[in-house]
Amino acid sequence: MPIRDLLIEIGTEELPPKALRPLAGALEKLITGALENESLVFDSITQFATPRRLAVLITGLPESQEDKEIFRLGPALSAAYDDKGNPTPAASGFAKSCGVDIKDLSTSKNSGVDKLAFTLTKKGQKTIGLIPSIIKNALNQLPAPKKMRWGSSREEFVRPIQWMIVLFGEEVITTNIYGVKSDRKTLGHRFHCNKEISIDKARDYEITLEKIGHVVPCFKKRREIIRSLVLEEGKNNKAVAIIEDDLLDEVTGLVEYPVALIGDFDDTFLSVPPEALILAMKSHQKCFYLVNNTGELLPKFITVSNIISKDPEQVIEGNERVIRPRLADARFFFDADRSRTLASRLEPLKKVTFQDKLGSVYDKSIRVSVVAKSMAGKLGVDAEYCEKAAKLSKCDLLTNMVGEFPDLQGVIGSYYARYDGEPEEVCKALQEHYLPKFSGDKLPETISGSILAISDKLDSTVGLFGIGQPPTGSKDPFALRRSAIGILRILVEKKLDLNVLELIREVIAAYAETPISDDTEDKVFDFLLERFRSWYLDDGITSEVFQSVLAVKPERPLDFHNRIQAVNNFSKLPESINLAAANKRVSNLLNKNESNLTNKNCDEDVLVAKSEKLLFTAIKDKVLEVAPYYKKGEYDNAFQSLATLKNVVDEFFDDVLVMDDNLDLRHNRLCLLQELRGLFLQAADISHLHTN
């Protein structure tokens, strides 16, 4: 079948830069899905996105759908005609549903029965006729952050549409979407080629825009050009340009033809915390900052222009002129904040609400300080420092700097604490206590910072669960899931062997003056342990392994993690299959006979079969052998030891009838199996393994 390339370009007013990449990806996905739904198989699809356009190029698209053969079976011939050979209502109804006369039906044998049948070849539709609705539906479904109306139309899109290309090979597919008629003409760069450019062939789109229009339409290509230009500019100035992905994406969404220029600012601004200067350059001016070989901020910045200026110095001077007051504001706020100590802002936090039912931010700080102090005692670190850091942790919320730069919470507090002469350990804890802020983010480096981070996150989690506001399937306004993962990551990766259930109880106790629901402890504990699931699935740990450890609910996250690793290793041993099956069988037997089973141990004198005596001896030996491993948390060694029970367990089940008619034998054998299962349950419930 003949094929062509299809180009779809939507030309607009400037699109929101932060949304540009997601919009381009969504358009590609929606167009791809629509073509697949229409059974139009193509070779490839490429997305393009600039501030003024969204486009896709589909190569190898057939000119029409393949013809489809429709085959339907009707009633059996015996039920299709009566004794006189006249069609029955069943036959007539089948013919009517097919849209034909009974005489046009055929017969076909199905499962040895002759039935009425109907075959129709449905001719495939022309691709040209399908494309307009595909485009309109895709544009309507784009996840735009905010849509606009323009002119007298009631239709909405991300930004007003100025032109549209729908080109199938060399042929324009005529359509009208949002009041804009399709054509083959696009617009070049707003300044370097502000005129219509004709695209003769769909596949010539990218090269035509680059060579004639002074536009780099491919987002990924333009992004890498910017990265290269910025790094090169830094290298030329004997500095290191720092490129963060979010800023790089945003800048890529602002320009169509990037040019990197370097500017300077007064080095007296370097007295301000570098994080504030960097944030001012990034958020307000979309500039990249530079550091020296030791990582110190330099009084330079790199801006990415959208034009090739005949006088770049004027462009640089313009950027320097605009960035100067931004940095001056930061310096003013910084100097003004230091007129009073950080500690003096604690009392005013009583007027700042944390949550209506959970009191003020002051109340939260005091609760966190109590828990942090207790946790410090458990870990053998300075409790006074942790308590002090907790009380100061939210004080910077009332500073001018955080008011202007909310992202600097904690960071600015650490600077002000340092100026106030607070111990360095306290200052670092203030800076680290919001970590980790997102998935994969770094953890606190100090123990004090780790303690404060756990205490703060756990306080919010317990409080919100306690007043009946846990996260739902679609809403998590306080980011409790992220906080839970943060708590677990800190405890595991920093190897802090703390009992999280005890910590939850301490937080609940700190909420003494707030009515907390009675089931808060259990709900928060289960919530935390469930967060482990996605963590381990991402690491390639199976749900079966996770479930085997979750079943015994270890209270120490670090211990939970160690058990997971051990069970995962054990599950890969050949012996694990039989032992898991045996544990499953034992679990079922014990559950069915739980009411008749006392907790007494197996009586050796009642044993009669050789295999059950061997199992009894093996269990007694293993109890002594694995006890030191369990005590030290060496679960790998314990499972390696227990794996050797495979043969004796298999022999027991081959030779012994557990549910013997003799009640004494039955009861004793169930007790024996209970001891066997207890050996494994000290680490995990391996009956969950190999269930598929």
Beta-carbon-side half-sphere exposure of residue 78 (alpha carbons within 13 Å): 4
Domain 3-65+126-211, CATH homologous superfamily name and number = ACT domain (3.30.70.260)
Segment 160-195, tens digit of pLDDT = 999 999 999 999 999 999 999 999 999 999 999 989
Provide, rounded to the nearest whole percent, the portion of the chain with pLDDT above 90.
Answer: 75
Segment 87-108, tens digit of pLDDT = 888 888 888 888 888 888 888 8
692 confidence band (pLDDT: 50, 70, 90):
low
What pLDDT score was predicted for residue 249? 97
Token match 């939970």: residue? 560
Tokens of 611: 């295999």
Computed on alpha carbons and rounded to an integer, the radius of gyration of the chain in Å comes to 35
Beta-carbon-side half-sphere exposure of residue 347 (alpha carbons within 13 Å): 2
pLDDT above 70 for 439: yes
What pLDDT score was predicted for residue 104? 81
Find out whether 52 and 15 touch, Cβ atoms under 8 Å.
yes
Question: What sign results for the dihedral spanned by CA atoms 471, 476, 477, 483?
Answer: positive
What pLDDT score was predicted for residue 149? 87
Tokens of 610: 């050789």
What does pLDDT average to over the chain? Answer: 92
Tell me which residue of 208, 129, 202 sits closest to 167, measured CA to CA. 202
Average pLDDT estimate for 590-613? 79
What pLDDT score was predicted for residue 648? 92
Provide, rounded to the nearest whole percent, the portion of the chain with pLDDT above 70.
Answer: 99
List, by residue range, all CATH 3.30.70.260 domains of the chain.
Answer: 3-65+126-211
Segment 70-88, tens digit of pLDDT = 788 888 888 888 877 888 8
Q: Rounded distance, CA 570 to CA 563, Å?
A: 10
597 confidence band (pLDDT: 50, 70, 90):
low
What pLDDT score was predicted for residue 298? 97
Q: Rounded distance, CA 331 to CA 401, Å?
A: 9
Tokens of 123: 């001719």
Find out whether 251 and 303 touch, Cβ atoms under 8 Å.
no
Q: Which CATH class is domain 344-540?
A: mainly alpha
pLDDT above 80 for 691: no
> CA of 21: how far to CAs of 49, 107, 645, in Å?
7, 56, 57
599 confidence band (pLDDT: 50, 70, 90):
low
β-pair partners for 302: 262, 288
Segment 277-314, tens digit of pLDDT = 999 999 888 999 999 999 999 999 999 999 999 999 99
Segment 207-223, tens digit of pLDDT = 999 999 999 999 999 99
Tokens of 372: 């942090």
Stretch among 38-47, 224-233, 664-673 having the lowest mean pLDDT: 664-673
213: amino acid identity, one letter: G
Average pLDDT estimate for 531-548? 92
Architecture of domain 563-688: Orthogonal Bundle (1.10)
* DSSP 8-class letter at 203: G
- DSSP per-residue codes, 426-438: HHHHHHHTT---S
* Residue 29, helix vs strand vs coil: helix
pLDDT above 70 for 595: no
Average pLDDT estimate for 557-567? 96
- DSSP per-residue codes, 223-273: HHHHHHHHHHHHHHTTSEE---HHHHHHHHTT-SS-EEEEEE--GGGGGS-
Segment 645-658, tens digit of pLDDT = 999 999 988 888 88
Segment 124-164, tens digit of pLDDT = 889 999 999 999 999 999 998 788 888 777 888 999 999 99
Tell me which residue of 166, 168, 164, 170 sits closest to 201, measured CA to CA. 170
Segment 406-425, tens digit of pLDDT = 999 999 999 999 999 999 99
Beta strands in 96-160 (DSSP E): 106-110, 113-122
pLDDT above 90 for 385: yes
* Best mean pLDDT range from 126-130, 599-603, 667-671: 126-130
> CA of 137: how far to CAs of 72, 141, 180, 649, in Å?
32, 6, 15, 63
* Residue 613: count of CB within 10 angstroms of its CB: 14
> CA of 593: how far to CAs of 303, 462, 588, 649, in Å?
75, 39, 9, 20
What pLDDT score was predicted for residue 61? 95
Q: Rounded distance, CA 44 to CA 307, Å?
A: 32
List, by residue range, all CATH 1.10.3210 domains of the chain.
Answer: 344-540
Whether the link from the prior residue into 557 is cis, omega within 30° of 0, is no
* DSSP 8-class letter at 12: E
Stretch among 43-47, 237-241, 607-611 having the lowest mean pLDDT: 607-611
* DSSP 8-class letter at 148: B
What pLDDT score was predicted for residue 361? 96
Q: Rounded distance, CA 419 to CA 63, Å?
A: 72
Residue 215 exposed, middle or buried by CB count within 10 Å (0-12, 13-18, 19+): buried
What pLDDT score was predicted for residue 596? 63
Q: Which helix (H) or strand (E) holds 45?
A: strand 44-50
Stretch among 38-42, 119-123, 450-454 having the lowest mean pLDDT: 119-123
What pLDDT score was predicted for residue 586? 86
Question: Looking only at Cα atoms, what is the longest distance across the chain?
Answer: 109
What pLDDT score was predicted for residue 667? 84
> CA of 484: how far to CAs of 32, 47, 457, 533, 534, in Å?
37, 37, 7, 12, 12
Stretch among 218-227, 249-258, 586-595 having the lowest mean pLDDT: 586-595
Q: Rounded distance, CA 234 to CA 9, Å?
A: 35
Q: Rounded distance, CA 605 to CA 135, Å?
A: 82
* Residue 663, helix vs strand vs coil: helix
List, by residue range, all CATH 1.10.730 domains of the chain.
Answer: 563-688
